[in-house]
Amino acid sequence: MSKKPTVTLDAMRLSRRRLLTGRVAPVREQRLALNTLKTGRPPAGMLLASHVMRYAKKPLLPRGLVWKPDSSLLAAFGGYQFYVWAAAGDLRAVYEPLGPPTQGAVLAWTPDGRTLSFLNADGQTGNVYLALWDVAAPETVQEFRLGPEDVVYALAWAPRGNKVAVAIQDRVIVCSPTSDGRLVTSVTYPPQLPPGGQPSYIVAWSPDGQTIASAGHTHAVQFWEAATGRPLHYFPEQTKAIAAAWSPDGRTLAYLTGAVPPPTSGQQVPLTVVVREVESGRLLLSVPATYPAVPISDGREGIPLLQEGLTWSPDNRRLAIAGQGPTVQVWEVGSQRLLLTYRGHRAPVVAVAWAPNGRWLASASSDGEVRVWQAP
């Protein structure tokens, strides 16, 4: 296979025409061929593909791992580079922003599946931008200014439309990109900030688009009305949630909670995976987990690992969880039964993602390795 030429990204900046520069780097092709297996359905846990993310010959700490809604592409973010694999083909592109590492530890597809969104920081001005990368036309990256935020923890798109919820340093805002390059804020939560603000490591939009879950002031999860910011109910744990995932039917929420250690310490501390019914708060599952002993030194020291540590099967029955050292556990929530422990990684797993077609699970470990394996 011939080597692809380097392409310089001259991305239009829709707000103030700021130029975002980067490049699609030449890469050694990695064929996944997940859709072309000839052996029938492989056994659960069978490795289908793997790849190690590297920058300057050093492994990258995974910060995002997301499937495209139609399961055709898998994207990963390693702090300095964005990888996109085609499920039935080659490594599509590696986008490498020029300049300092991107600020956010977030990566998400837009609801229509056309673009990848991430956060990009300007080291000179201190401004943070919401960036939209059209992977089908990798020369196209658009940016929308969020503002001079110190930390942006998470983002989540509404299931329909163009609204995005962003957890910034002391609150959550709901905003929409406009055709003239602005981000228009429609809701701020909480409307009145308590002393010290209300920072949240999580922001999760319900599948029906009506409710958002973020951190409460004194408890792990607070639910609020997406259209108005009106607070609803909350879940009682008093330690911060660092990851949250709605079940696809919107009836239950899984979240990972515990006392997060100082990010540069590399300290291992106990966490708990909790699954509750959203309306009643009834506890459905509780599983011990561990914050990995991996010091953070990638420019995102204020943002914890494991934010992508929970993922649901499309049928709402099973939950895959990281925070189990170099393994991934898959639980059947209704029966509280451990279905599978995947043991293919050599380093702590920090992100998991279940393909929307239900067939594949992707996992990423702190040594930069991304693996795709057969789901149970």
Q: Which stretch, 115-124, 191-200, 334-343, has highest mean pLDDT?
A: 334-343
CA-based torsion, 94, 98, 101, 102: positive or negative: negative
Rounded to whole angstroms, what are the CA distances from 243 to 118, 166, 291, 309, 370? 17, 14, 12, 7, 19
Q: Which range, 118-127, 259-268, 366-375, is most confident?
A: 366-375
Judged against a pLDDT cut of 70, whether residue 62 lies above it is answered with: yes
Given a cut of 50, is residue 29 above it in pLDDT? no
Amino acid residing at 200: S
Across the beta sheet with 47-52, what order do the strands follow? 47-52, 369-374, 360-365, 349-354
Q: Contact 181/175 with Cβ under 8 angstroms?
A: no
Q: How many residues are present in the chain?
A: 376
- Rounded-to-5 percentages of helix, strand, coil across the chain: 0, 50, 50
As a whole number of angstroms, the distance between CA 247 and CA 279 comes to 13
Does residue 245 contact residue 354 with C-beta atoms inside 8 Å? no
DSSP 329: E
CA distance 37 to 42: 9
Rounded to the nearest 10 degrees, how much is the dihedral formed by the CA atoms of 267, 354, 105, 246? -90
356 burial level (CB within 10 Å; 0-12, 13-18, 19+): middle
pLDDT of 146 higher than 90: no
Angstrom distance (rounded) from CA 369 to CA 49 = 11
Q: What b/e readout covers 28-66, taking b as 16+ CB neighbours within 10 angstroms?
A: eebebebeeeeeeebeebeebbebebebeeebbbbbbbb
Burial of 316 (0-12, 13-18, 19+ CB in 10 A): middle
Q: Rounded to whole angstroms, how far apart are CA atoms 139 and 136? A: 9
182, with CB counted inside 10 A (0-12, 13-18, 19+), is: middle
Residue 246 reports pLDDT greater than 90: yes
Mean pLDDT (the chain) is: 81
Q: What is the pLDDT of residues 74-119, one digit of tens each?
A: 988 887 778 888 776 555 566 665 445 455 557 899 999 988 888 7
Token pair for residue 156? 């989540």
SS (H, E, C) 158-204: CCCCCCEEEEECCCEEEEEECCCCCEEEEEEECCCCCCCCCCCCCEE
Q: How far apart are CA 122 and CA 226, in angstroms?
A: 29
Set out the domains of the chain in order of their start, with CATH numbers: 7-42+60-304 (2.130.10.10)
Question: Given the structure tokens 């106990």, which residue do they identify?
Answer: 270
Rounded Cα distance, 158 and 368, in Å: 29
pLDDT single digits (tens) 260-301: 765 556 678 899 999 999 999 999 999 999 988 887 766 565
More confident residue, 367 or 12: 367
pTM of the model: 0.88
Query: Quick check: 40 pLDDT over 90?
Result: no
**Banded model confidence at residue 20, pLDDT cuts 50, 70, 90:** very low
| Confidence check: pLDDT of 24 > 80 | no
Tokens describing residue 49: 């593909």
CA distance 275 to 262: 26
